[in-house]
A = this chain, B = another copy of it.
Amino acid sequence: MPNMLVVGSVAYDSVDTPSGKNDNQLGGSATYFSVASGYLTDVAVVAVVGRDFDPDDRSMLSDRGIDTSGLVQVEGDTFRWSGSYREDLNSAVTLETQLNVFADFAPELGDAHKALPFLFLANIDPTLQASVLSQMTTRPKMVACDTMNLWIDIARPALVSLVEQVDILLINEAEAMQLTEADGVASAADRLLDMGLRAVVIKRGEYGAVVFHKEFTFAVPAYPLVSVVDPTGAGDSFAGGFLGYLSSVDDTGNDAIRRAAVVGSVMASFAVESYGLDRLKSLNATEIDARFDAFVELTRFHPLGGGQGLPVKSTFNS
């Protein structure tokens, strides 16, 4: 029985990165999210694919314990995206988008999925995201969503309405500023929190992520990898680790959210180490724990405890 639902895309991607090209790799927001979160929790995926969808790709997901009963197959071809990271590993340039079966995607939830406690609305048309949320018979404990510049450009009112209904928005730095017309991330976050969010997670690529929560701010760096092969899916893998952790521990408190952001960063760091899902889908518990421990090492600084301040000279005491 799953306890988390993701609605998003399943795609075949072709990427061009400084490491080279790779064509027709399995991708899509729902795919990265479900593989990343599937290490930690039972997740069900709702998405659409075409007749060309490789049965082995469905098996890869279901063999991992991911509920693919909502992964519907229809006439036509699977969504295809091709992009280049030649100029900047932090942001893809889209070369081509073939929506294919995704053009007419209108997600309908099965009864088994309508009352799950955690819901991730991956980056699709905000009207569809809202439709999914409205199909839930019980308001989930936590609803999170992602979006992109396209929807800010062409569907801003629907997106704003959606943001007002969810708990957590995960969004790229540039898109947070575009959506709020702020000139910095902290003020963008302030404006987003004013829209009613419990928290906004600003994703900053190789610079990591910052959680702006109503009650605290938490920053986590990205893992400093010498070689980033393919950034595709990093944001969705982050979201998968983030929500997968929260749903696994069934805790949406402040400390859990901090730790979840680190787990998200762990998953994103694995995702970018190879093309597509190659690395992300090959992990074991030992590797995941070791990378989490590496984040502890990367960020710890033995804060001074018990009221012992910094050694500021006494002449500056008042």
Kindly identify, within residues 197 to 217 of chain A, every residue whose CB is under 8 Å from any CB belonging to chain B: 204, 206-208, 210, 212, 216-217
* Interface pair A288/B303, CB less than 8 Å apart: no
Which listed segment binds B: A101-109, A164-172, A310-318? A310-318
Complex formed: what's the CA distance from A41 to B311 in Å?
A: 9
| Contact partner, A204, options B185, B207, B312, Cβ 8 Å | B207
* Interface pair B258/A301, CB less than 8 Å apart: yes
Taken residue by residue from 248 to 265, chain A's Cβ proximity to chain B (1 for < 8 Å, 0 otherwise) reads as: 110000010011011100
* Interface pair A292/B310, CB less than 8 Å apart: yes
Complex formed: what's the CA distance from A300 to B219 in Å?
A: 9
* A296 on interface, CB distance cutoff 8 Å: yes
Copies of the polypeptide in the assembly:
2
Q: Within 8 Å CB of A157, what residues of B?
A: none
Closest to A299 in B: B299
* A18 on interface, CB distance cutoff 8 Å: yes
**Please, could you name 19 A-B residue pairs with CB atoms under 8 Å apart, sorted by A?**
A40-B313, A185-B224, A186-B226, A187-B226, A207-B208, A208-B221, A212-B224, A218-B301, A219-B299, A220-B301, A248-B311, A261-B301, A283-B316, A285-B317, A286-B317, A286-B318, A288-B309, A288-B316, A292-B309
